[in-house]
């Protein structure tokens, strides 16, 4: 932030560039691990196109990692922006920021009006926790390696409807 200066655009660009390196390495390692699986090699052996292998095998298995990485990344960026704004390096004062609220007015009047520091802190904590829980719930729903989730419910319901129609038989 000392190189780019203060501002909304600078904060977004710096946090996006710096935060992306670790997640790129994580996703690359997951893609390499999936590429080495037997079903991926079997698809290559029967002549499936690269695009089909990516859409049918790689992407569904990488998607849970992408969702978790995205939800953790958003939560970390919210905390990083709040920290930068608290230190005075983030978003300039006319624009609202939870870190700025905790820094300026929150510290000046902490003893006289404690809600000026409590409510931005509670909002920051709730937002970060909510984003993490939401990302984890979405991952649980679409992870093909888990037996639970919406996929199990839909398959079970479809099978029960098919068995009901077979049990009724022709009238």
Q: pLDDT of 63-114, one tens digit each?
A: 888 888 888 888 988 888 888 888 877 787 777 788 877 776 667 777 787 7
Look at the pTM and tell me if it is higher than 0.75: no
Please report the pLDDT score of residue 41 as a whole number.
Answer: 82
**Rounded-to-integer distance, Cα 56 and Cα 53, Å:** 5
Please report the pLDDT score of residue 130 as a whole number.
Answer: 94
Residue 136 predicted with pLDDT over 60? yes
Q: Beta-strand (E) ranges in the chain?
A: none
Query: At a CB cut-off of 8 Å and minimum separation 6, what does 107 contact?
Result: 117
**Mean per-residue pLDDT for 117-136?**
88
Q: What are phi and psi of 94, to 5 degrees?
A: -65, -25
The domain limits of the chain are 8-19+61-162
Please report the pLDDT score of residue 8 as a whole number.
Answer: 81
The answer to whether the CB of 140 falls within 8 A of the CB of 149 is: yes
Here the tokens at position 139 are 């991952």
Q: pLDDT class for 131, splitting at 50, 70, 90? A: very high
């Amino acid at each position: 932030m000392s190189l780019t200066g203060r501002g909304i655009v600078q904060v977004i660009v710096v946090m996006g560039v710096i935060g992306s390196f670790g997640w790129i390495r994580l996703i690359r390692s997951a893609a390499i691990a999936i590429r080495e699986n037997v079903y991926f090699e079997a698809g290559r052996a029967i002549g499936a196109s690269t695009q089909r292998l990516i859409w049918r095998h790689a992407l569904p298995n990488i998607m849970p990692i992408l969702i978790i990485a995205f939800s953790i990344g958003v939560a970390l960026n919210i905390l990083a922006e709040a920290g930068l704004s608290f230190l005075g390096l983030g978003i300039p004062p006319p624009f609202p920021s939870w870190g700025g609220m905790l820094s300026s007015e929150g510290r000046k009047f902490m003893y006289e009006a404690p809600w000026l520091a409590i409510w931005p802190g509670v909002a920051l904590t709730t937002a970060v926790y909510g984003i993490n829980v939401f990302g984890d719930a979405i991952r649980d729903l679409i992870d093909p390696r888990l037996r639970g989730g919406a996929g199990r419910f839909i398959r079970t319901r479809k099978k029960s409807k098919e068995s009901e129609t077979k049990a009724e038989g022709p009238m």
